[in-house]
Copies of this chain bind each other. A is one copy, B any other.
Amino acid sequence: MIRIFQGFITLILLIPPFAVGDRIVTAQEQIVHDAEYYILEAQNGERWSAENEDLDVKLAALRKEHGRPPNIIHIMWDDTAFGDVGIPAIQQVRGLRTPNLNEMAREGILFTRMYTEVGCTPSRAACITGRYAVRSGMYNIGMLRESHGMRGEEVTLAEVLSEEGYATAFHGKWHLGDIEESYPHKQGFDEAFFTGYNQILSLNTKLAEGANASIGLHEDMLPKDPYKLDDTFITKGWVQIAEGTKGGPTKQWGDNSHENYMKIDPEAQRRTLEFIERNAKAGKPFYVANWPNMTSFVPNPKKFSTARSILQDGLQGNIDPFVGKVIAKLKKLGIAENTLLVCMADNGPMSHNPPPGLGMAETIYRGGKGDFLEGGVRVPAQAWWPGTIEQGQLVGDIIHETDLYTTFARVAGALEHVPRDRVIDGVDQTSLLVNGDTHSRRDSVFIYAGPRLGATVKGNYKRHWISSDPVGESSGIPAAFYFLPADPREKTPMLVNLIHLKSPFNRMKLRHDLWKKKYPDAKEVHGIPWTGIANARPEIKALAKPLLDPKKLPFDPLEYIEHLDELPFDPQADPDFGE
């Protein structure tokens, strides 16, 4: 048995991946997946191949029936613990109700093992590129003045689907950079209404300064500081929300006030519903990503949920009613049976900022946003496609958000437009959607903490690569192995009972690393933020200019921008401790 297995490895490492797929004839065979995919394909390829033939027939019949490929809607909100959506008993004890999302789950699939990246920016990058965020360099959660963004060379889902004739739109929290190259309508979307950052924008207002929620952005509200020498340390100048079209101009929408911030989600929702209706009536297949702000970080006097955590309140008061409107619209337009709707969170709860602040609480899993523990990356997720996805399914398979990229491309008939010159981590999960529980083509996930691998999940097992138990990754005797069903909170690393997993996990990681030598990780790009804004105010235009006269300085004051990726991350962070 061991010799046979070693044979597989030799095969995979010696033969180019294009040839590995000889055993299966699908459009997907030439996509370069991560090494682990081929280990599974070598064992399950025959079944997958047979399933694929059936799926092709099914998708072709659907296309014939509706006269076009299916529409795709992806709604992804922030920071929610697995279980907080779709499970009425948990919602009852958590003081939260999402009747529309729960009904959607009852009419489709509720996933219990949807994995994401650990934070907003990497999670969004992973969905839109089908690649772990580390591969596009988008592991940094971008804030003001980080002057960064996703490189144009990434091939987004919008580009893949556009090639197949889809109308594409992005509405909401993009959070993939504030440089022109990264704007969504420069990354393949026909139309975009987008924020470059996250909900922190709601703290940059005078209202938040007055409430002490943000400290020091609005000096005109403060007594003068007689000790202050530097006027450039804290700088203002950002675009709260912008809009643009492919090949057309980019404009700021409204001003940077709290009043305008509160209009962003309603406007994004209005645009999404209008986009759906417009394309349905034009008979054009469409893809729309509505990734809402969800909430303001300044508390809303009106509370929607008993829990009242700000994000949870936004989920109940803002997102859930919108999902209801989307589904009602699809039904009214008669396109529900030709539309795949996926709703999910982008990462775990913001449990590092606990109630009564902005945050949400840990529940079943330990950890939250930013952690490679299950609590950071296992999210509520559900899929709905009446007539194609069977009703009332609970799906326990592992699925990763990158899989949406490949799966959406497959159902759209657009696999041929997925690039072949890079690793695509997303695997085709069409069979999971159509055939249900136990039909995943993935049994593992690599979980990155910034640029470093934090943990690897394989089935019910998990290994922490960053750990102090007993002496971390450099030890010859690692002990940070976990058995997830019995130990969901990753509290009990086992040395003796699980040491037989050491070598298998080592193999996985080393294959993953070797593949990176052939297909290296890229970097995010840096530049002047908010260029190309047609209606830019003077403070936005000023972002391109040094704040000080370069002649008065012994160095180039903008030189640092090209070196932002040299900033330290926190590679020693060890979530095994604390709580």
Chain A residues close to B by CB (< 8 Å): 82-83, 86-90, 92-96, 110, 112-113, 305-309, 312, 354-356, 360-364, 394, 396, 460, 483-489, 491-492, 494, 497, 579
Contact = CB atoms under 8 A, between A and B. Distances in A.
B87 A90 contact: yes
Contacts of A82: 93
Given A88-B394, A89-B394, A356-B494, 11 more contacts: A93-B113, A93-B484, A94-B486, A94-B488, A305-B485, A307-B486, A308-B486, A355-B492, A356-B486, A362-B489, A363-B364
Given A306-B460, A364-B363, A579-B579, A485 B93 contact: yes
Given A354-B491, A355-B492, A363-B364, A309 B90 contact: no
A487 B361 contact: yes
B497 A361 contact: no
A447 B484 CA distance: 31
A355 B363 CA distance: 19
Given A363-B364, A497-B356, A92 B394 contact: yes
A462 to B, nearest CB: 13
A354 B488 contact: no
Nearest to A94: B485
Nearest to A93: B112
17 contacts: A82-B93, A83-B364, A89-B394, A94-B485, A95-B460, A306-B460, A307-B485, A308-B485, A308-B486, A309-B486, A312-B486, A355-B487, A356-B483, A361-B486, A362-B491, A364-B364, A579-B579
Contact of A485 (B95, B460, B486): B95
A355 B93 CA distance: 26
Contacts of A394: 88-89, 92
A432 B491 CA distance: 38
A83 B89 contact: yes
Contacts of A113: 93
A289 to B, nearest CB: 26
A483 to B, nearest CB: 7
A189 B460 CA distance: 46
A361 B87 CA distance: 20
B86 A89 contact: yes
Contacts of A460: 95, 306
A292 to B, nearest CB: 21
Nearest to A82: B93
Interface core residue of A86, A89, A92 (most chain B CB under 10 Å): A89
A487 B354 contact: yes
A575 B123 CA distance: 35
Contacts of A485: 93-96, 305-308
A112 B89 contact: yes
A78 to B, nearest CB: 16
A102 to B, nearest CB: 11
Given A486-B355, A497-B356, A361 B491 contact: yes
Contacts of A486: 94-95, 307-309, 312, 355-356, 360-361
A112 B96 CA distance: 14
Interface core residue of A93, A308, A491, A492 (most chain B CB under 10 Å): A93
B309 A361 contact: no
Contacts of A308: 485-486
A396 B93 contact: yes
A66 to B, nearest CB: 32
Contact of A112 (B92, B487, B489): B92
Contacts of A484: 93
A85 to B, nearest CB: 11
A472 to B, nearest CB: 22
A83 B491 CA distance: 19
A344 to B, nearest CB: 15
Contacts of A95: 460, 485-486
Nearest to A313: B486
A120 B360 CA distance: 33
Contacts of A88: 394
B488 A361 contact: yes
Interchain residue pairs A-B with the least CB separation, the first 6? A95-B485, A355-B486, A307-B485, A307-B486, A363-B364, A92-B396
A213 to B, nearest CB: 15
A369 to B, nearest CB: 16
A227 B89 CA distance: 58
Contacts of A491: 354, 361-362, 579
A438 to B, nearest CB: 12
Given A355-B487, A356-B483, A90 B83 contact: yes
B93 A488 contact: yes
A419 to B, nearest CB: 34
A107 B486 CA distance: 28
Contact of A364 (B90, B96, B497): B90
A53 B435 CA distance: 53
A210 B110 CA distance: 46
A195 to B, nearest CB: 26
Contacts of A488: 93-94, 361, 363
A198 B90 CA distance: 31
A497 B299 CA distance: 14
Contact of A89 (B110, B492, B497): B110
